[in-house]
Amino acid sequence: MSERSWSEEPAAFAAVDGTQLRGTITRPPANPAPAALVLSGSGPLDRDSNMPGQRLDVGKALAEALAAHGVGSPRYDKRGVGESGGDYLTTGFEQETSDARALDALRRVPGIDAARVTVIGHSVGATIAIRLASDEQAPAAVVLLSGASRPGAVVMESQSERIAASMRGPSRLVKSWFLRRQERVRELLLSSSGDTVRVGRTELPARWFREYMAYDPASDLRSVRCPVLAITGRKDLQVDPGDVAHMSRLSEAPFTGETPDLLTHLLRSDTGPPGLSRYRAQLKAPVDADLLERVAVWTAARASTSA
């Protein structure tokens, strides 16, 4: 297929409460075409997985890779971000999950084959993808990129420990302080009762964190029956790559799990030692081309078998 044989157009989906979520839908020339809903990770991310000071470009990169293989894809600004309505800071994890059920609206979009819709999630987007895949109206397949299989509270604690273990040079001197501070923040979030809480100069979406920390994906993973592709790099600091094997043990679905040696949480390949200090350099590189091709080929193949 020609590299630029697809088109992009504005898209809008109404959330359950009527809030308008706006984004972009990428369309290949086939009509009807299979499609994949792309879900971003945590934070106030737009349709391309970007926010001020951090350009991941994961959403756009996935959309273009999928389109090159004949798969359309919608992606949207999170609630309260970009062109979408609502307020990001007061949005809980349960509301964010509900918003992702724009999947149902996608099935009704003209030119989209409702029987061949996949969900692709990155990081927390993968956690939400697990929930959608366990629904009664499940997608045809699901792709979990840097997805966790443990309760959110465990993921956050493990993440802090992995980051601390990666500290080198002078930063090693603050490992204990870093771990104590992260523990205090988690305790503050869990003991909060409002939508937000202030930590220093930063206002955090407390309700989102409380709900995320309480959620354990194990039960939903056991309920998934559609094909699953789970990929977490061995250099991922924020999610344990061992969770891929844990997902495989929990799931009764057709399951493909991969842990590429050089892949990081930012979905870039990096030959250096794992560490947050390397994130800035990683973001100067594009999303890993091999990963994009793997996801696009797998998704297109699942769309073909479900046709």
Residue 69 lies in a domain: yes
What's the DSSP call for residue 19? P
Residue 120's pLDDT band (boundaries 50, 70, 90)? Answer: very high
Q: Which domain holds residue 116?
A: 7-151+217-305
Residue 208 lies in a domain: no
Query: Percentage of residues in the chain with pLDDT exceeding 90?
Result: 87
Cross-strand pairs, 54: 51
pLDDT per residue as tens digits for the range 164-196:
999 988 888 899 999 999 999 999 999 999 999
pLDDT per residue as tens digits for the range 251-299:
999 999 999 999 999 999 999 999 999 999 999 999 999 999 999 999 9
Into how many domains does the chain fold? 1
Could you give the C-alpha distances from 42 to 112, 121, 195, 303, in angstroms and in order? 27, 11, 16, 28
Residue 90 lies in a domain: yes
Residue 170 lies in a domain: no
What whole-number distance in Å separates Cα of residue 302 and Cα of residue 222?
A: 20
pLDDT at 3 over 60: no
Residue 278 lies in a domain: yes
- Find the largest Cα–Cα distance for the chain: 59
What average pLDDT does this structure show over 148-175?
93
In the sheet that 255-258 helps form, which strands lie side by side, from edge to edge? 33-39, 112-122, 141-145, 228-231, 255-258
What whole-number distance in Å separates Cα of residue 212 and Cα of residue 83?
A: 25
pLDDT per residue as tens digits for the range 202-220:
999 999 999 999 999 999 9
Rounded mean pLDDT of the chain? 94
| Cβ atoms of residues 76 and 47 within 8 Å | yes
pLDDT at 300 over 90: yes
Residue 51 lies in a domain: yes
The token pair that represents 218 in the structure block:
């194990």
What whole-number distance in Å separates Cα of residue 44 and Cα of residue 4?
A: 29
What average pLDDT does this structure show over 221-248?
97
**Interior angle at CA 161, CA 155 and CA 165, nearest 5:** 140
Give the model's pLDDT for residue 39: 97
What whole-number distance in Å separates Cα of residue 43 and Cα of residue 46?
A: 9
Residue 301's pLDDT band (boundaries 50, 70, 90)? Answer: very high
Residue 174 lies in a domain: no
Cross-strand pairs, 143: 120, 229
pLDDT at 221 over 70: yes
| Cβ atoms of residues 130 and 97 within 8 Å | no
Give the model's pLDDT for residue 307: 60
pLDDT at 35 over 80: yes
Name the pTM for this structure.
0.96
What whole-number distance in Å separates Cα of residue 130 and Cα of residue 111?
A: 26
pLDDT at 1 over 50: no
Residue 108's pLDDT band (boundaries 50, 70, 90)? Answer: confident
- DSSP, residue by residue, 69-112: TT-BEEEEPPTTSTT--S-STT--HHHHHHHTTHHHHHTTSTTE
Residue 198 lies in a domain: no
| Cβ atoms of residues 54 and 44 within 8 Å | no
pLDDT at 10 over 60: yes
pLDDT per residue as tens digits for the range 47-86:
999 999 999 999 999 999 999 999 999 999 999 999 999 9
CATH at residue 135: 3.40.50.1820
- DSSP, residue by residue, 208-264: HHHHHHH--THHHHHH--S-EEEE--TT-SSS-TTHHHHHHHH--S-EEEE--TTB-
